[in-house]
Structure 1
Amino acid sequence: MPKDKKKYSQKYTKIWETDPDLKDWLAPDVTNDTLVNCKYCHVVLKAHKKDLVGHAKTEKHNKATAREKSAKSCKSISQIYKPVLSEKTKIAELKIAAFIAEHCSFLTVDHLINVLSQLDPSSDALKNLKLHRTKCSMLIKNVLGPSMLEALIEEIGDFPYSIIIDESTDLSTQKVLCIIVRFFSHKSRQIVTTFYRIIKLIECDAKSVHDAIISQLKIDGLKFENMIGVGVDGANVMAGRHNSVTAILKRELPDLIVVKCVSHSLHLCAEKAAELLPRQLEFLVREAHNWFSYSPKRLEYYKTLFETINANKDPKKIQGLSGTRWLARYQAINTILEQWEELKLLFSIAKSDDKCYMAEQLYDIMRRTPFKAFLIFLKNELKNVTQLNLLFQSDDVEPTKLFEDLFLLYKNLLRRLVVPSQLEKLVDCELVEFNFQEHLMHTASMYFGFDFQNISQELTAEDLLDVRERCKNFLCCLAEQIQKRLPDNLSMLKIVADLHPKVATSQVKPDLKPILNYIQRTHIYGNKNDIESEWHQLSNKTWSNTSTSADFYFEVYNDCDAAGCKRFGNVSKFGLAFVTVPISNASVERAFSVYNIVKNKLRSRLSIEMLQSLMMVRFTLQRNGGSCITFNPSTKMLSLFNIEMYDFKKSEPEENEIMFEMLNNL
């Protein structure tokens, strides 16, 4: 740039920079030092005072200046209007959000709020409700779910706990790991088994599952070293001997108690034993259900036939078979036997009138008495196994008595198979490894039930011998499978059974040395020497709560001496820890059932964060009060009810789910 032009530029630049009437609306031009920009009009001007003053007097510049000053003088909406929701309105909207999370989809709340406001136009409480699907989804995802999870973690605290885990693939081919936590709640004074986490998995190998569990426990602040037990199914990736999830966990916690699901094991035992019975039984049970499942005409015809024979009584529905729940066949077998003559008549009519080949096959099976005898035998045997299976699936049973029930099933099988003189030589602890196959009774001496004895009179000698032999093989296989599949469960449940209040308060009680030699973490169980000493002193005092183990050991835990120190602090910690050991995988299977209800075909794009919150709300409501009717928002929930819950970067709204629901409602 020439010297004279440079001086000219510097001269006039200083003029507009120092003049108060010019510097407010002028800015330098980055491309040319001799030019400036009008910030209001967005035009380029020469940096000459005469030109700048002339532009300042134009009508265009004056209008632009007026608009700018007017805009600066206006206050923002946040300064003028600050909406403040009353606490009653927040509670009402949180209760409605809990209702939506438990029962229906987010779109429902749009119409629900409009209906509520029309019920009583004079009510300020209903008039102030401003809740639609976006706000409702944010309340569930960022307020209710996190608050309930935080409350659950605080309730567990530093006390011991167990987890029950299982993995699955949902309808969107997404692999997920579900974790159920089981612990003794000092707040509610009971054993709690509830939903904890649903975690998305990329790989389902043992190392990936292990890392996902450890990482999530660390994020949530639950101490890994306080975990005393883990419940798994029988899959190799979960319960294998060398490189499974439980094997890796036991390397880190050597005294971790691993419990394979007893319900799964009983199912596999019965399934294996049933392979020794005629295949026609499986065919009859399956096809009797299929005969009615796809034909309303057949169902109505059979209903009319049954009412004619049984004086207007309705027939029971035959249950369908399940590939993963073999013991569900008990209900189907029971129904078929109750309606045996009616079904046989139905298939006989269909065979002759409709020329149906399937009806001919079914009738041919039902007219042969040996098959009915097999079903009667199977019904009696499966009843005992099914009842025990239901006990292990329940969360409200006394865990210390489950060993007695499981062992009685095994012992009753042996008493019907083994020569009595051989069983009298053995104590109970020796029965688990007893080779009963070498001491079996003769088939003719075995008892298969009262109903079986009655129908056996209708069989020929040859058929009766064959039926009894096959029934004997079924019982032998069932006992062998129980002995093979449940040794770890039997030994673990024996430990828990010894802690029953009646045993603990008796003068003669078993020694705890086998258990104390197994445990290592004294910060959870207490000092070993003190545990044994206090264990023998429990019978010196009268205790009021001896009905359940949880009530008993909680009373023992709170018992103090004159100085306020706990008399039985070590043995009570030991007892409360062991009663939290998982007994089956039924709770995590139920959690997956809820998961499949929440994430269905119309809601297949729900995020894992929203699923976590929805399931947490459902399980927490069920655990605390039973439903959304008794739900009361906590102080934590009210504090989170603010504008920050709309953090869309942290938690995206379920737009895809809403879109699919809207399309479905068209």
Structure 2
Amino acid sequence: MERYFQKKSVINSNSPSCSSTQRQESDRHRDQSSKRIHDNVEESEQLQLSRKRNQNHVELDIDLSNLPMDPGLRIFFSEYPPNVRDNVRRAYLLNGPYQPVIEFPQTKGNKDENRKFVIDWYKEFTWIEYSIEKDAAFCLYCYLFKPESRNRSQGGGDAFMATGFKNWKKKQVLQRQSSQARSEYRVRLKTSVECVRFLLKQGLAFRGHNETTNSNNRGNFLELLEFFAFLNKDIKDVVLQNAPENNKLTAHVVQKDIVNSFAVETTNVILKELGDAFFSVLIDESRDISVKEQMVVVIRFVDDKGCVIERFLGIVHVRETTALSLKAALEELFSKHGLSIGRLRGQGYDGASNMRGQFAGLKTLIMNENESAYYVHYFAHQLQLALVGVAKNHPRIALLFNLTSNALNIVGVSCKRRDLLREKHVSKVIQKIRSGDILSGQGLNQETTLKRSGDTRWGSHYGTLVSFILMHSSVIDVLEVVMENALTSEQRGETCALLDQMQSFEFIFNLHLMKDILGITSELSKALQREDQEIVDAMTLVKVAKQRLNAMRNDGWDSFFAEVSSFCVKNDIIIPNMDDPFVERGRSRRRVEVLTNQHYYRVQLFIGCIDLQNQELENRFNEVNTELLLCMACLSPRDSFVAFDKEKLIRLAQFYPRDFSSKSLMLFSNQLETYILDVRFSNAFSELRVATAGVERAFSAMNIIKNKLRNQMADNWMNDILVTYIEKDICETIDDETIMQRFQKMATRRGQL
């Protein structure tokens, strides 16, 4: 070691050459050195003790109920252990700024002017607090959230959190402090509002899987906020890392509040647009991805410009699917928005869902309370779905749709089986062309496949049944191949049972029966959904459908049975003797009423299913609402109001006794004469059409908003997003200032606008 460090010369105080003065100087240096060492050791021990206390959080016992309120007596916030800082911060926020009311001491300025703290500053600057100990002003939120300066002894930007402000003459410093905080808060809030607006318009998710700073999957909201900051330096200086810790306005609860502000303001615009006008209600039901029954409510009304408007009012989670619970949910939604069932002048439901009977009960409950709320079939809904739902009330028809669905699942489960089905069908088509059973030519015998039905307004059960009849023998061939190559006995048994059912006379009978019934109503269902469909034409189609079903019921049995028998002969399916006793599969003969095959197939199936369809059409288009629609059609401006009929319009007014008194009806006749002359000479009405347009967007939007990745969305959160997404044309017109003010009023915010 001596090679690297040179020894210092040691002065021996006892040496004769050492003078008295030198010995005294040496003693003095030795005492000072000893004192410095002692001080350093003591400071080191205190520092180690402080670090030990900070590391061992249990040792430091903090009484949150007895924190020093005077800002001049507080320790620096960073000196609290990290694990208790949130609790300390929460305790101070609950108490609010320390604002004692005392006789404030006066301080002399440079010109011997007496200055002191002004009590009115408490109201003018809500963030300010006063220290009796230091006679200085501090900022509570700076103390809790603002990063501390490295040099605590200097005032500078930390005057309101470290040394305190006491230059009472310069009130502008307080104003600047408040103005800067407000300005930065406004920038942060406005940026968050813009991010939310963009995400709502696109129907995108907000949150990510990991929202930490270094994450690559922080979610759309934070990524978009960071992108805005990257493009705009003024934003970058006050958002995200540059914002106060607990006032970044990026928390999920803040996002929800902003979305709710958009939803509330959007709904307010809709309600203002509605005003005091009467309206009708359109209701549909569906299950979301998390298997919750959701009821969508849409209102339809005529605005002050005479235009028919449809607006999405909200979506309600229905826990009990009974008529009473549906009515209670509807009343709760109406009450929330200040609406009343008494203002209803119409109601429409899809009725194809599993709540069809409950909706029928809801219709009755509402009409018992308001007789003017007439039920009218919502034309935009797929009528065929309702008719299929009614047909499934017959257990054998329900079995038919179940079997076709199972066959579609087995045959269409893989590309290999689909290709095999096409090959089998092409081979059979070629054989039929060679035998002369079918003709060949341009556009004929195109390649086809099985169509999968769907319980939506775009699905077609009719197309599925038609394709099933055309490809029945090919499907049987594929199922036989599947059964032979089945890997398990369960698969083999399931396929064998399906083959047995599909090659029975009853299956073929029901298949052709539903094909003919849905064929009659298919064109009606499509026509009702056309946006340019005239009401009179629609009612004519309804009448035609009823007549065709009645003709099929009374005179169509022989031709229908011949068609079914011909199909069975071609496909080697046994036709039972119609005079033999009918034996139902799966039921004991001792418990079944003795009847013939003729009675079962003709009365219970053929006539029974047709009667169900007729009954459903009658319920949806009964004498009252049909007359109501035909009377409304008299207002059609087509061909210079050629359909105008004064007597029918008077009859229309009579449907609403609450709105037209006897005196009003007497005046109505003369008013209608004036009306028709006026509109026939007006160019503004020459191009108008009364159409049955409808918008069914809610559940399509719900599948976008609430999907498999976002299947845990709360009911209110989903409703707010749907309102803003579906009514985006209204949402876009709401300015940022309105949203920001709504956001501020929702809760006590840390920042002020």
Same fold (TM over 0.5): yes
Larger relative contact order (CA 8 Å, sep ≥ 6): 1
Look up the match of 1:228.
345
Contact 1:164 1:230 in 2 (8 A): yes
Contact 1:40 1:65 in 2 (8 A): no
Contact 1:143 1:637 in 2 (8 A): no
Look up the match of 1:3.
none
The change in CA–CA distance for 1:482 and 1:510 in structure 2 (over 3 A counts) is farther
Aligned with residue 407 of structure 1, among 543, 549, 564: 543
Distance 1:79 1:507 in 2: 66
The change in CA–CA distance for 1:69 and 1:204 in structure 2 (over 3 A counts) is same
Within a 5 Å distance, the mapping from 1:137-216 to structure 2 comes to 137=255, 141-165=259-283, 177-187=295-305, 190-199=307-316, 210=327, 213-214=330-331, 216=333
Indicate the SS of the match to 2:463.
helix
Indicate the SS of the match to 1:105.
coil
Amino acid at match of 2:658: R
Using the TM superposition, give the Cα deviation of residue 130 of structure 1 relative to its aligned residue in structure 2, in angstroms.
6.6
Using the TM superposition, give the Cα deviation of residue 208 of structure 1 relative to its aligned residue in structure 2, in angstroms.
6.0
Aligned with residue 329 of structure 1, among 436, 461, 479: 461
Look up the match of 2:740.
642
Aligned with residue 349 of structure 1, among 467, 478, 481: 481
Distance 1:525 1:105 in 2: 57
Contact 2:391 2:398 in 1 (8 A): no
Look up the match of 1:498.
631
Using the TM superposition, give the Cα deviation of residue 105 of structure 1 relative to its aligned residue in structure 2, in angstroms.
0.4
Using the TM superposition, give the Cα deviation of residue 366 of structure 1 relative to its aligned residue in structure 2, in angstroms.
5.8
Aligned with residue 103 of structure 1, among 203, 225, 244: 203
Distance 2:256 2:161 in 1: 43
Indicate the SS of the match to 2:688.
helix
Within a 5 Å distance, the mapping from 1:96-135 to structure 2 comes to 97-106=197-206, 107-114=219-226, 134=251
Using the TM superposition, give the Cα deviation of residue 296 of structure 1 relative to its aligned residue in structure 2, in angstroms.
6.0
Distance 2:499 2:632 in 1: 54
Query: Normalising by the residue count of structure 1, what TM-score does the alignment of the two structures yield?
Result: 0.61
The change in CA–CA distance for 1:549 and 1:477 in structure 2 (over 3 A counts) is farther
Using the TM superposition, give the Cα deviation of residue 157 of structure 1 relative to its aligned residue in structure 2, in angstroms.
2.1
Matched residues, number: 532
Amino acid at match of 2:283: I
Distance 1:334 1:80 in 2: 72
Distance 1:17 1:399 in 2: 81
Using the TM superposition, give the Cα deviation of residue 643 of structure 1 relative to its aligned residue in structure 2, in angstroms.
6.2
Moved more, 142-151 or 458-467: 458-467
Distance 2:715 2:485 in 1: 56
Question: Identity over the aligned pairs, expressed in percent?
Answer: 15
The change in CA–CA distance for 1:258 and 1:459 in structure 2 (over 3 A counts) is same
Look up the match of 1:481.
612
RMSD over aligned CA atoms reads 5.8
Amino acid at match of 2:388: H
Using the TM superposition, give the Cα deviation of residue 102 of structure 1 relative to its aligned residue in structure 2, in angstroms.
3.4
Using the TM superposition, give the Cα deviation of residue 139 of structure 1 relative to its aligned residue in structure 2, in angstroms.
7.7
The change in CA–CA distance for 1:594 and 1:182 in structure 2 (over 3 A counts) is same
Indicate the SS of the match to 2:277.
coil
Amino acid at match of 2:736: L
Q: Does 1:620 align with 2:753?
A: no
Distance 2:276 2:299 in 1: 14
Using the TM superposition, give the Cα deviation of residue 219 of structure 1 relative to its aligned residue in structure 2, in angstroms.
4.7
Using the TM superposition, give the Cα deviation of residue 169 of structure 1 relative to its aligned residue in structure 2, in angstroms.
7.3
Q: Does 1:266 align with 2:266?
A: no
Within a 5 Å distance, the mapping from 1:155-554 to structure 2 comes to 155-165=273-283, 177-187=295-305, 190-199=307-316, 210=327, 213-214=330-331, 216-222=333-339, 224-232=341-349, 233=351, 238-240=359-361, 245-259=362-376, 263=383, 265-272=386-393, 275=395, 281-282=400-401, 284-292=403-411, 294=413, 298-299=417-418, 302=421, 316=449, 318-319=451-452, 328-352=460-484, 354=486, 356-363=492-499, 372=508, 375-391=511-527, 397-417=533-553, 440-441=554-555, 443-444=557-558, 446=559, 455=567, 458=570, 463=575, 470=601, 474-485=605-616, 486-487=618-619, 489-491=621-623, 492-500=625-633, 501=636, 505-506=642-643, 511=648, 515-522=652-659, 527-534=664-671, 543=680, 551=688
The change in CA–CA distance for 1:489 and 1:214 in structure 2 (over 3 A counts) is same
Contact 1:516 1:528 in 2 (8 A): yes
Look up the match of 1:610.
717
Distance 1:137 1:533 in 2: 58
Contact 1:101 1:618 in 2 (8 A): yes
Using the TM superposition, give the Cα deviation of residue 99 of structure 1 relative to its aligned residue in structure 2, in angstroms.
4.0
Distance 1:171 1:367 in 2: 36
Distance 1:129 1:405 in 2: 65
Distance 2:397 2:326 in 1: 39
Aligned with residue 633 of structure 1, among 732, 735, 740: 732
Q: Deviations over 1:4-54 (max 9, x none)?
A: xxxxxxxxxxxx9999799999xxxxxxxxxxx972499xxxxxxxxxxxx
The change in CA–CA distance for 1:148 and 1:512 in structure 2 (over 3 A counts) is same
Amino acid at match of 1:413: L
Using the TM superposition, give the Cα deviation of residue 443 of structure 1 relative to its aligned residue in structure 2, in angstroms.
3.6
Moved more, 346-355 or 65-74: 65-74
Q: Deviations over 1:498-543 (max 9, x none)?
A: 3323696348786456544432122699932344455577776774
Amino acid at match of 2:725: R
Distance 2:498 2:684 in 1: 51
Look up the match of 1:560.
none
Q: Deviations over 1:275-300 (max 9, x none)?
A: 56695x44641321221455566456
The change in CA–CA distance for 1:169 and 1:251 in structure 2 (over 3 A counts) is same
Amino acid at match of 1:270: A
Look up the match of 1:53.
none
Q: Deviations over 1:517-576 (max 9, x none)?
A: 4321226999323444555777767749999999357xxxxxxxxxxxxxxxxxxxxxxx
Contact 1:102 1:617 in 2 (8 A): no
Task: From the two aligned structures, give the one with the greater helix fraction.
Answer: 1
Contact 2:346 2:374 in 1 (8 A): yes
Using the TM superposition, give the Cα deviation of residue 617 of structure 1 relative to its aligned residue in structure 2, in angstroms.
1.6
Indicate the SS of the match to 2:702.
helix
Contact 1:170 1:596 in 2 (8 A): yes
Using the TM superposition, give the Cα deviation of residue 257 of structure 1 relative to its aligned residue in structure 2, in angstroms.
1.2
Q: Deviations over 1:346-391 (max 9, x none)?
A: 2333445559444445555666788557534532332333443455
Look up the match of 2:163.
67
Distance 1:408 1:391 in 2: 13
Distance 1:464 1:552 in 2: 55
Look up the match of 1:575.
none
Moved more, 73-82 or 399-408: 73-82
Amino acid at match of 2:659: T
Look up the match of 1:660.
none
Q: Deviations over 1:462-520 (max 9, x none)?
A: 93985998367645224422443434632202320233236963487864565444321
Amino acid at match of 2:723: M
Indicate the SS of the match to 1:149.
helix
Q: Does 1:599 align with 2:706?
A: yes
Contact 1:398 1:549 in 2 (8 A): no
Distance 1:591 1:134 in 2: 28
Amino acid at match of 1:178: V
Indicate the SS of the match to 1:83.
helix
The change in CA–CA distance for 1:529 and 1:315 in structure 2 (over 3 A counts) is same
